Structure 1
Amino acid sequence: MNQERAVSDIELRHGDLAVRVSPRGAAVTAATFRGIPFLVAAGGPDGAMANFAMVPFGNRVEGNTMSYAGRDYAFQPNTADPLYRHGDGWLSLWQLEDFGSAHAQFSFSRSADKVSSYAYLTRQEIRLAGDALVLTLSVENRGEAALPFGLGQHPFFARTPQTRLAIAADRYWSERPDHLPDMAGPVPDDFDFRSEKLLPQRWMNNAFEGWNGRAAIAWPELGMQAALEADGALDRFMLYMPVDRNDFFCLEPMSHLPNGHHLPEFGGLIPLAPGEVLSGKVTIDLSALPVQPEER
């Protein structure tokens, strides 16, 4: 067994939580509460990731170009998608810096190249605390000039026919055919989860703003629920629900909007001077769903 394979099989356990982590993408590849999966391995290059870090920003860049501080920059596609997508971290092998029975910390460093002009050092800590999975991500600009940075987590939550979601937002972005945000406006009824309700049976790939960083997910068939909290820079989110699979949905806390490089105020991307750091934390707290009394 080579070193990469050995490290990729790290198992974290604490109480009722069990999580498997990999150095590829600093990814969670499995996560269960009382033996029941709450994250599903459905993402990443080979579909083996249940959560991965998005760094130095998430989602796509229109035209694979950006302009900042009077300079033009170009990206090259990093997957089969024609647009550079989700940054470099999810495709790369991270170094294991520290681990124990209930935590693991990875780091990844890259230099600017023809694929991306971003040079940075990023760290991801995956920790089990009580019945919570805590994901802490940071990025430091290691380049020679300031650039707009962003962060995000991309969890693939289990989805059942009765899965319910509660999350509030003030503004919604419609989607263009190229999977980039189109127009901002009020949240449509189908996508309004201010009061807990069932997930819609339709395609969703939309960004939301005006979020307080909290969400609740309930899986009645599985007898469990999750309270999600995002802090630090993570004040926006994406909802993704494909139509070719119904076993997962993605609720992605992010620091910025997709295609932020081409939006006013960079869509929430934060300019970092060399040496400056951006960070954000996501906590997913699991618990048993209270049993409802039977109707008479």
Structure 2
Amino acid sequence: MGAISEPLTLKAGALEVGLVPHIGGSVSALRWRGIDLMRRLSNADLDAGNVLGVAMFPMTPYANRIAGNTFEFGGKRWQVLPNNPPEKFNVHGSGWQHAWTVTEAGTADATLSLDIAAGADPYSYRATQAFSVSEEGLGVTMTMTNTGPVPLPFGFGLHPWFDRDPDVTLQFEGKRFYLEEPDGISGDPVTLPPELDFAEARPLPGGWRNNDYGGWGGEATIRFPGRGAGLCIKADPVFKHLMLYADPAKPYFCVEPQTNASGAFNRGRWDDPDEGVIVLAPGESAAGTVRFAPFALEP
């Protein structure tokens, strides 16, 4: 199939998932029983190719920001470029800003791939997303391969958007809360205080949140009572972190499973399992699956 691929629709039972490979290898919609359970890509954003309007995009070859656009690894300083003006720092890597290739496609399954060669950024990699739709839900298996000549630190994740209904609730378990520094940079981790804990389902916070939860238990549940449905997110253990973005001024919020801690590339603790950074030698790969399972809510 060609490098620029038309939108795809995957279906199984009551579940319908739209893909827009040419817009960052993104999901355009996740609908169950006719109910949108992610923010749907609008026709205007589809026509404009606006990746910031999609339902979900991939984060490769790392998640979140790199402060100063530099990090030190292997005795060398590596530089990345700012990629989301007017932001100063690189955010979510490069994958979301490229068209992906459809390598396989069926009625309920599709695989997208992306090959990046190092240029101004140091990373050469191959990433794939294998989408599988069943009556139980959507599974996305991400694979990351270092195709460059030297070992480098990697990470990956998924960045979904959800509509901020007035009655929406969120529930997940975490162990640490990373403070936020200027320009969206992740700061020091602190012990999770009760006011910031979502172990029990609760409404979204009334104030700004743009924070990583470390030691994530691998499951998150979003409920939309007014829609009569919810979505359970279950991720493989490689996804050690969950990012929560919630701006009360915006009609959406984000709950993002990711392997690496936000800010980990600047802290440089490459062997710390809590940081979740995956160092890949040339030719090495890492993979993990995130599942999105819709469910009905009693009226």
- TM-score of the two chains, using structure 1 as the length reference: 0.92
Q: What residue in structure 1 maps to residue 286 of structure 2? A: 278
Q: Is the partner of 2:201 in helix, strand or coil?
A: strand
Runs of at least 5 residues in structure 2 that lack an aligned partner in the other structure: none
* Counterpart amino acid of residue 102 in structure 1: A
Q: Following TM superposition, by how much is the alpha carbon of 1:253 offset from its aligned partner in structure 2, in angstroms?
A: 0.5
Q: Distance in 2 between matches of 1:9 and 1:178?
A: 34
Q: Contact 2:210–2:243 at 8 Å: present in 1 too?
A: yes
Runs of at least 5 residues in structure 1 that lack an aligned partner in the other structure: 292-296
Q: Following TM superposition, by how much is the alpha carbon of 1:46 offset from its aligned partner in structure 2, in angstroms?
A: 4.5
Post-superposition Cα deviations, 1:97-117, rounded to whole Å, max 9, x if no partner, equal: 001111110110011111x10
* Counterpart amino acid of residue 124 in structure 1: Q
Question: CA separation of 1:39/1:285 partners in 2, compared to 1, >3 Å: closer, same or farther?
Answer: same
Q: Which residue, 210, 219, 236 being the options, matches 1:214? A: 219
Q: Is the partner of 1:195 in helix, strand or coil?
A: coil
Q: Which residue, 257, 262, 269 being the options, matches 1:258? A: 262
Q: Which residue, 128, 135, 139 being the options, matches 1:134? A: 139
Q: Is the partner of 2:236 in helix, strand or coil?
A: strand
Residues 1:89 and 2:89 are matched in the alignment: no
Q: Is the partner of 2:91 in helix, strand or coil?
A: coil
Residues 1:269 and 2:273 are matched in the alignment: no
Does 232-241 or 39-48 show the bigger shift? Answer: 39-48
Question: CA separation of 1:280/1:245 partners in 2, compared to 1, >3 Å: closer, same or farther?
Answer: same
Q: Distance in 2 between matches of 1:34 and 1:289?
A: 12
Q: Distance in 2 between matches of 1:205 and 1:255?
A: 17
Q: Distance in 1 between matches of 2:186 and 2:51?
A: 26
- TM-score of the two chains, using structure 2 as the length reference: 0.91
Q: Distance in 1 between matches of 2:6 and 2:163?
A: 22
Q: Distance in 1 between matches of 2:40 and 2:76?
A: 39
Question: CA separation of 1:29/1:179 partners in 2, compared to 1, >3 Å: closer, same or farther?
Answer: same
Post-superposition Cα deviations, 1:74-110, rounded to whole Å, max 9, x if no partner, equal: 1111221211111111000111000111111011001
Question: Superposition pairs for residues 116-195 of structure 1, below 5 Å?
Answer: 116-195=121-200
Q: What residue in structure 1 maps to residue 298 of structure 2? A: 290
Does 78-87 or 97-106 show the bigger shift? Answer: 78-87
Q: What residue in structure 2 maps to residue 205 of structure 1? A: 210
* Counterpart amino acid of residue 295 in structure 2: S
Q: Distance in 1 between matches of 2:175 and 2:65?
A: 23
Q: What residue in structure 1 maps to residue 32 of structure 2? A: 33
Q: What residue in structure 1 maps to residue 73 of structure 2? A: 68
| Sequence identity (%) | 32
Q: Distance in 2 between matches of 1:120 and 1:264?
A: 21
Q: What residue in structure 2 maps to residue 19 of structure 1? A: 17
Q: Is the partner of 2:195 in helix, strand or coil?
A: helix
Residues 1:99 and 2:105 are matched in the alignment: yes
Size of the aligned set, in residue pairs, is 286
Q: What residue in structure 1 maps to residue 56 of structure 2? A: 51
Post-superposition Cα deviations, 1:204-233, rounded to whole Å, max 9, x if no partner, equal: 100011112011111111101121100042
Q: Distance in 1 between matches of 2:51 and 2:101?
A: 20
Query: What RMSD in Å do the two structures reach over aligned CA positions?
Result: 1.7
* Counterpart amino acid of residue 102 in structure 2: L
Q: Contact 1:224–1:288 at 8 Å: present in 2 too?
A: yes
Q: What residue in structure 2 maps to residue 294 of structure 1? A: none
Q: Following TM superposition, by how much is the alpha carbon of 1:164 offset from its aligned partner in structure 2, in angstroms?
A: 1.1
Q: Is the partner of 1:47 in helix, strand or coil?
A: helix
Q: Distance in 2 between matches of 1:4 and 1:268?
A: 32
Q: Contact 2:153–2:278 at 8 Å: present in 1 too?
A: yes
Post-superposition Cα deviations, 1:44-74, rounded to whole Å, max 9, x if no partner, equal: 9453311011010011111111111111111
Q: Contact 1:190–1:200 at 8 Å: present in 2 too?
A: no
Q: Distance in 2 between matches of 1:106 and 1:284?
A: 18
